[in-house]
Amino acid sequence: MSEPKRRFGDRKDGTLLRDIDSMHLVMPLMYPNRCDNEAFLSERIDLTNVNAWLEQKNSSNPEYKYNLFQIMVTAMLKVLTLRPKMNRFIANCRMYQRNEVSAAFTIKKIFSDSGDEALAVIRSKETDTIDTIHQEIFRQVSLGRSEKVDAGTQSLNMMQLVPGFLLRFVGAVARFLDRRGWMPRSVIAGDPYQSSVVITNLGSIKLHAGYHHLTNWGTCSVFCVIGEAKKRPFHDETGRVQMRDSLDIGLTIDERIADGYYYSKTIRLLKKLLETPELLELPLNEKVEY
């Protein structure tokens, strides 16, 4: 997505929304903190079609197999592309449309208590499909599990060089710059909370989906939690119970960026994409019926 021409009041990461209704203009003034405006939504996804699609996709034995996490990342990117209000953020009591669609997640280098983590950010294009996202995730996971330190971790490591008595001052300056969008790109390059959505795959460590807070730092308005995939009861048209593979997901959103009806349609689209994964083979900006 090309970055629009900046006008006075715009930030390098977002365009100031100058024509919004009075309620959404006033809400950030009344409730300025993102953490005070969280709404939590949960949904259960039937994985029957996903499992069949993955089996077909992996039948040719690709070097890096397609998996449920890649489907989730692609679905979220497509939702954010087709539902642009979900890609807004509020900073310094003003609302902005983000200039890119991005998804961030952490990579566990080794599954152990002492295993380090690395940061990954997928910055999508409107023409991306699950195949191109799959390749980009492979590239970033491979890089994250190598010995090379990513940009975000490098920035955090630099804080260890700051004398203790200056840390509080440095933090205050950083928050001031962050609210106004003045933080250098090099400092926040790998910061997950500067992205459209943060995705965490708790299912990979055998945990249920649940609530995760947003942060006042950064610009992220959506946090997605993926739970463990397992068999759960579903009712068919006759009322009989069937056990099917399923996935629970939780979404924490900043309720100031849109209204309940918009969120409802957004969840409907996300559920449609996750239960019809072949739609993710279309470009992110190609509309679907839901």
Taking the chain (290 residues) in runs of 10, the rounded mean pLDDT of each run is 74 94 91 95 96 96 93 98 98 96 84 65 97 95 71 66 82 92 84 95 91 96 96 91 95 96 97 97 96
The answer to the question of residue 168 being in a domain is: no
Asked if residue 155 lies in contact with residue 118, where contact means CB atoms within 8 angstroms, the answer is: no
The answer to the question of residue 183 being in a domain is: no
The answer to the question of residue 44 being in a domain is: yes
Task: Count CA atoms closer than 13 A to 250's CA, side-chain side.
Answer: 19
The answer to the question of residue 163 being in a domain is: no
47 vs 173: CA distance, rounded Å: 46
The answer to the question of residue 13 being in a domain is: no
Looking at residue 190, its pLDDT comes to 79
Looking at residue 27, its pLDDT comes to 92
Looking at residue 13, its pLDDT comes to 93
The answer to the question of residue 2 being in a domain is: no
Domain residues for the domain of 56 are: 22-150+190-281
Q: Are strands 230-235 and 241-254 parallel, antiparallel or unpaired?
A: antiparallel
Looking at residue 119, its pLDDT comes to 85
Q: How many CB atoms lie within 10 A of CB 284?
A: 24
Looking at residue 154, its pLDDT comes to 67
193 vs 214: CA distance, rounded Å: 9
The answer to the question of residue 274 being in a domain is: yes
Looking at residue 166, its pLDDT comes to 84
The answer to the question of residue 94 being in a domain is: yes
Tell me, what CATH number does 116's domain have? 3.30.559.10
Total count of domains within the chain = 1
Beta strands in the chain (DSSP E): 14-16, 38-46, 88-91, 94-98, 101-108, 117-124, 197-201, 222-226, 230-235, 241-254
Looking at residue 257, its pLDDT comes to 96
